[in-house]
């Protein structure tokens, strides 16, 4: 299959996180009781009419700008006509030949190499309701229930050029796209809730011209599914071409359980959507100044942020990458650094202990984390005590300064106190001291641990270290004290 070039294009649907639906005032929310967020317009009752939600346009423009698209100051809505129970008007209001935006691009890294994918177009449309079939599909189900809460939630459809050359790149692209849209605050982009959905098309091109037609794959509900389905499909198509077979243009669906793609329908039988301009909505004409306002207010995007973390803040490439890919961590990082803490030190904390605790769901603000780092910097507590305090901050929401005071946590940095403890530890482990002196230097860690334990973690570890090394080296001919 190495002799075939793979061309992949993606079609992505993203639910915009506006408060209300795109053509009516109903709340656009996930998880409400079925059919509780509906009105005549989103149910398509006779006599109802759509009114465009300005916020949906704003979110769409923001997404378009974040993807480096050209925003069309003139665009039109169109009707896409087809019958389905969850489509209340039996047409979807979308944009067809005059979309909101065109000609964008997304830059991202694939195995540390910079790559780019062209965005062909981005348009606004409305979401359909949700059908729940009693059987596997609408045909043959005994009954189908429909929830129209989702009907009318604003969507953007993003179409890429077919310039993606591998399943891994498709996944990397989609991850970057999600990140950009999350940064631009247009959507939560949760694939598991369907607020980010992706269809892919893939075709194979041989050097000697044995090209396959474009095959579309639907039902890709996770990044992993996208990558695996494309890999499966590339292999399947290559095998057919190698055997002299023909790839027909068709639509296939990813069967998650069987881990393979299955034919839905041949393109020859594809529906004709009979598009025409939506007569109930005037053309969408945007004020250029308004678009520029949105552009100016665009938050920093992932690529720019990663660059800034590496060059301006001096973070390691790894930490910069981790932070940028985890916006909630990046936010805490930014807040803490803004308080004047050293960026790499903050990054260590945030990508390390902080990230570990945050995985359990709760969060701690940058301001509070800053307070903790301050305590450590002041020498009031040790870094290892800091970890304990951070855990308390996450699980019980304590304030670090109050907690340290209440628990009486302090760093034992008293040279004399520690010196006697060091000596006591060495005294109690003479056999190990001997081995250390014979060259088993890793035992130093053990001695440090013993001292820390003896002080319940309150010793200043760097000092303990220093005292131990000093005591051990000075005692190359070290003899137990006389009792």
Identify the bridge partners of residue 444 per DSSP, sorted by sequence position.
none
CA-wise closest residue to 286 among 73, 76, 56, 61? 73
How far apart CA 91 and CA 371 sit, in angstroms, is: 56
User: Which one among 33, 114, 140, 269 touches another protein, defined by CB under 8 A?
Assistant: 140
According to CB under 8 A, which one of 27, 73, 90, 338 is a site residue for another protein?
Answer: 90
Residue 267 binds another protein, judged by CB under 8 A: no
The angle, 0 to 180 degrees and rounded to 10, between the axes of the packed helices 443-454 and 415-428 is: 120
Report the nearest approach of Zn ion to the CB of residue 16 (Å): 15
Distances (CA, A) of 110 to 207, 244, 471: 25, 33, 51
Of 5, 19, 32, 45, the one binding another protein (CB under 8 A) is 45
- Position 249 contacts another protein (CB under 8 A): no
Burial code (b: 16+ CB inside 10 Å, e: under 16) for 274-296 equals eeeebeebeebebeeeebeebee
CB 71 within 8 A of CB 286: yes
For the beta carbon of residue 250, count every other beta carbon within 10 angstroms.
Answer: 19
How many Cβ atoms are within 10 Å of 111's Cβ, its own excluded?
8
Where do runs of H (alpha helix) occur along 184-275? 223-242
Q: Which stretch binds another protein (CB under 8 A): 136-144, 185-193, 329-337, 470-478?
A: 136-144
CA separation for the pair 394, 345 (Å, rounded): 19
For the CB of residue 44, give the shortest distance to another protein in the complex, in Å: 5
Task: Say whether residue 48 binds another protein (CB under 8 A).
Answer: yes
Q: Please say which residue, 91 or 357, places its beta carbon nearer to another protein.
A: 91
- Minimum CB separation from Zn ion for residue 31, in Å? 17
Contacted entry of Zn ion, another protein, none for residue 282, CB cut-off 5 to 8 Å set by kind: another protein
Residue 39 interacts with Zn ion (CB under 5 A): yes or no: yes
55 binds another protein (CB under 8 A): no
435 binds another protein (CB under 8 A): no
Query: Residue 151 CB, nearest distance to Zn ion (Å)?
Result: 8
The partner residues of 75 in beta bridges, in order of sequence, read 284
Alpha carbon distance 151, 161 (integer Å): 29
Question: Under rule CB under 8 A, which residues in 57-86 are in contact with another protein?
Answer: 79, 81, 83, 85
Mark residues 324-343: x for contact with another protein by CB under 8 A, - for none. --------------------
Q: How big is the CA angle at 102 (ends 101 and 103), to the nearest 5 degrees?
A: 140
If one asks whether residue 280 binds another protein (CB under 8 A), the answer comes out as yes
Q: Which does 47 bind (CB under 5 to 8 A by kind): Zn ion, another protein, none?
A: another protein
Name the CA radius of gyration of the chain, rounded: 30
Minimum gap (Å) between residue 200 Cβ and another protein: 24
For Zn ion, the closer of residues 25 and 480 by Cβ is 25
Beta carbon nearer to another protein, 75 or 187: 75
Single residue of 24, 28, 234, 404 touching Zn ion by CB under 5 A:
24
For the bound state, the minimum distance from the C-beta of residue 154 to Zn ion, rounded and expressed in Å, comes to: 12
Query: Rounded to whole angstroms, how far apart are CA atoms 45 and 89?
Result: 8
Work out whether 42 is an interface residue with Zn ion (CB under 5 A): yes
Longest C-alpha distance within the chain, in Å?
102
According to DSSP, the residues that pair with 123 across neighbouring strands are: 157
| Footprint on this chain of another protein (rule: CB under 8 A) | 40, 43-52, 79, 81, 83, 85, 88-91, 138-141, 144, 146, 272, 274-276, 279-282
């Amino acid at each position: 299959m190495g002799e075939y070039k793979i061309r992949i294009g993606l079609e992505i649907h993203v639910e915009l996180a506006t408060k209300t639906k795109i053509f009516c005032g109903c709340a656009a929310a996930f998880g409400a009781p079925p059919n509780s967020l509906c009105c005549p317009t989103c149910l398509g009752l006779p006599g109802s009419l759509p009114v465009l939600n300005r916020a949906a346009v704003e979110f769409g423009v923001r997404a378009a700008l974040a993807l480096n698209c050209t925003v069309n100051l003139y665009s039109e809505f169109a009707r896409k006509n087809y019958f389905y129970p969850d489509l209340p008007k039996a047409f979807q209001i979308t944009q067809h030949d005059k979309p909101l935006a065109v000609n964008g691009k997304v830059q991202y890294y694939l195995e540390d190499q910079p790559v780019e994918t062209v965005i062909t177009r981005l348009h606004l449309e409305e979401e359909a309701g949700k059908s729940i079939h009693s059987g596997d599909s609408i045909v043959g189900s005994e009954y189908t229930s429909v929830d129209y809460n989702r009907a009318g939630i604003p969507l953007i459809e993003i179409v890429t050029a077919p310039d993606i050359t591998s399943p891994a790149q498709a996944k990397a692209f989609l991850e970057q796209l999600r990140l950009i849209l999350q940064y631009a605050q247009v959507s939560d982009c949760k694939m598991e809730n369907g607020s980010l959905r992706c269809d892919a098309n893939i075709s194979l091109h041989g050097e000697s011209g044995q090209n396959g037609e474009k095959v579309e794959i639907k039902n890709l509900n996770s990044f992993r599914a996208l990558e695996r389905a494309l890999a499966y499909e590339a292999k399947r198509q290559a095998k057919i071409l190698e055997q002299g077979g023909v790839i027909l243009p068709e639509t296939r669906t990813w069967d998650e359980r069987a881990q393979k793609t299955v034919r839905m329908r041949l393109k020859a039988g594809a529906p004709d959507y009979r598009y025409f301009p939506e007569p109930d909505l005037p053309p969408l004409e945007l004020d250029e100044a308004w678009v520029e306002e949105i552009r100016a207010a665009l938050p920093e995007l992932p690529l720019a942020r990663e660059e800034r973390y590496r060059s301006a803040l001096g973070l390691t490439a790894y930490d910069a990458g981790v932070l940028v890919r985890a916006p909630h961590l990046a936010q805490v990082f930014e807040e803490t650094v803004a308080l004047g803490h050293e960026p790499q030190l903050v990054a260590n904390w945030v990508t390390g202990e902080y990230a570990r605790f945050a995985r359990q769901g709760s969060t701690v603000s940058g301001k509070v984390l800053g307070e903790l780092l301050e305590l450590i910097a002041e020498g009031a507590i040790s870094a290892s005590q800091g970890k304990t305090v951070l855990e308390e901050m996450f699980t019980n929401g304590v304030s670090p300064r109050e907690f340290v005071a209440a628990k009486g946590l302090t760093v034992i940095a008293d040279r004399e106190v520690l010196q006697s403890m060091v000596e006591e530890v060495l005294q109690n482990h003479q056999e190990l001291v001997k081995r250390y002196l014979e060259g088993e230097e890793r035992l130093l860690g053990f001695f440090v641990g013993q001292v820390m334990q003896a002080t319940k973690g309150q010793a200043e570890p760097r000092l303990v270290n220093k005292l131990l090394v000093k005591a051990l080296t000075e005692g190359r001919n070290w003899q137990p004290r006389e009792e």
